[in-house]
Chain A
Amino acid sequence: MQEISKNIDLKACLAGNRKEQFRLYEKYKVRCFGICLRYARNHQEAEDILQEGFLKVFKVLHQYSGKGSFEGWLRSIMVRTALMHIRKYRAKEMLTVELDEIKINKIPDPDMIKRQKNGDHIIYLIQQLPVLYQSIFNLRAIEEYSFKEIGELLNMNETTVRSYYFRARKALQKSYSELRIEQQ
Chain B
Amino acid sequence: MKDKNKEFEAFVREEVQQFSSRPSDNLWDSISQQMAPDYADAAGGEFAPVDGSAIPDAGLLNWIFQNINLNLVGMITLGSLTLTVGTLLFINGTGKASLAEANSTDASQTEIEELAVLPPSALNDPMPDPLPSQNKTIYFPFDSTELPQLPEEDLENTLLPDENPEFLFDFEAEEDNPKEQREAQNDSGENLPIPCSGDVNIGDRIGQFKTELVQLLREDRLITSNDYKIRLFMEETGFSIENEKIESDVSYKYTQLLSKYNIVPCENRIAQITPKYVAIGDLREEGFRGQLRGDIDLQDLGLQDESLRINGEGTVNGNQQAGKKGALILYKEEKRSDFDDMKKELERQGLKVTSSSFNEDDGLITMVKLHFQHPRGLDFSLRGRNFDVLELKILKGDNGQLNGFSYRFNKEKVKNILLTTTGSISRTF
- Closest approach, in angstroms, between the C-beta of A2 and any C-beta of chain B? 17
For B36, what are the chain A residues with a Cβ–Cβ distance below 8 Å? 16
Q: Which residue in chain A gives the minimum CB-CB distance to B9?
A: A141
With beta carbons under 8 angstroms apart, the residue of B15, B18, B23 that contacts A33 is: B23
A128 within 8 A of B: no
The answer to whether A1 has its CB under 8 Å from any CB of chain B is no
A84 touches B168 (CB 8 A): yes
Output the least CB separation between A80 and chain B (Å).
Answer: 6
- CB neighbours of A3 from chain B (8 A): none
Known: A43-B21, A99-B304. A157 touches B168 (CB 8 A): no
Q: How far is the CB of B162 from chain A (nearest CB, A)?
A: 8
Contacting residues, chain B, for A51 (C-beta < 8 A): 27, 30-31, 34
Docked-complex contact A122 and B16, CB < 8 angstroms: yes
Q: Are A116 and B20 within 8 A (Cβ)?
A: yes
Contacts of A17 in B (CB 8 A): 38, 40
Question: Is B166 a contact partner of A119 (Cβ separation < 8 A)?
Answer: no
CA distance A132 to B294 in the complex (A): 32
B171 touches A21 (CB 8 A): no
B38 touches A87 (CB 8 A): no
Quick one: which of B21, B160, B169, B329 contacts A154, CB cutoff 8 A?
Answer: B169
Q: Which of A124-172 contact B (CB under 8 A)?
A: 132, 141-142, 144, 149, 152-157, 159-160, 162-164, 166, 169-170, 172
Query: Does any Cβ of B come within 8 Å of A91's Cβ?
Result: yes
Q: Is the CB of A119 within 8 A of B40?
A: no
Given A17-B40, A119-B19, A169-B9, A56 contacting B329 (CB threshold 8 A) = no
Q: A94 contacts which of B17, B46, B171, B305 (Cβ < 8 Å)? A: B171
Interface residues of B in 163-209 (CB under 8 A from A): 164-171, 174-176
Residues in A neighbouring B327, C-beta threshold 8 A: 159
Is A77's CB within 8 Å of the partner chain B? Answer: yes
Chain B residue contacts of A122, Cβ below 8 A: 12, 15-16, 19
Instruction: Give bound CA distance, A65 to B168, whole Å.
Output: 25
Cβ of B285 to closest chain A Cβ, rounded Å: 6
Residues of chain B with a CB closer than 8 A to A47's CB: 23-24, 27
Interface range on chain A (Cβ under 8 Å from partner): 35 or more
- Cβ–Cβ contact B174 & A152, under 8 A: no
Consensus secondary structure, chain B interface: loop
Q: How many Å lie between the Cα of A173 and that of B46 in the bound state?
A: 52
List B residues 20-44 near A (Cβ within 8 Å).
20-24, 27-28, 30-32, 34-41
- A163 to B156 CA separation, bound complex (whole angstroms): 30
Nearest residue (CB) in A for B13 is: A142
- The distance from the CB of A81 to the nearest CB of chain B, in whole angstroms, is 8
Cβ of A118 and Cβ of B28 under 8 Å apart?
Answer: no
Instruction: List residues of chain A with CB within 8 A of the CB of B9.
Output: 141, 169
A162–B318 alpha-carbon span in the complex (Å): 29
Contact A156 B20 (CB under 8 A): no
Contact B333 A88 (CB under 8 A): no
The contact of A159 among B37, B176, B324, by CB within 8 Å, is B324
Contacts A141-B13, A166-B333; is A155 near B166 (CB within 8 Å)?
yes
A141-B12 CB under 8 A given contacts A25-B31, A63-B160: yes
Find chain A residues with CB under 8 A from B17 CB: 34, 119
Q: A38-B16, A159-B329, A160-B307 are in contact. Are A91 and B34 (CB under 8 A)?
A: no
A183 to chain B, nearest CB (A): 14
B277 at the interface (CB under 8 A from A): no
Q: Mark A32-51, 1 if CB is under 8 A from B, else 0.
A: 01100110000100110011
B161 interface residue, CB < 8 Å from A?
A: yes
Give a binary string over A70-82; 1 marks a CB under 8 Å from any B CB, 0 the rest. Answer: 0011001100100
Q: Which of B18, B21, B160 has the most CB of A within 10 A?
A: B21
With contact pairs A51-B31, A159-B329, A160-B307 given, residues A95 and B285 touching in the complex (Cβ less than 8 Å): yes
Partner of B5, one of A16, A34, A37, A169: A169
B308 adjacent to A163 (CB under 8 Å): yes
Check B139 for interface membership: any CB of A closer than 8 A: no
Query: Would A94 and B308 count as touching, CB distance under 8 A?
Result: no
Q: 10 tightest A-B contacts by CB?
A: A119-B19, A76-B161, A18-B38, A119-B18, A152-B164, A119-B15, A166-B333, A155-B166, A141-B9, A118-B15
Instruction: Show 22 A/B contacts (Cβ-Cβ < 8 Å), sorted by A.
Output: A17-B40, A18-B32, A21-B32, A22-B28, A26-B28, A33-B21, A47-B24, A50-B27, A51-B27, A56-B156, A72-B161, A73-B161, A88-B152, A88-B174, A100-B305, A117-B19, A119-B19, A121-B15, A144-B13, A152-B166, A159-B324, A159-B327
Besides A38-B16, A119-B18, A141-B9, 4 new A-B residue pairs in contact (Cβ under 8 A), listed by A number = A18-B41, A21-B32, A152-B164, A155-B169
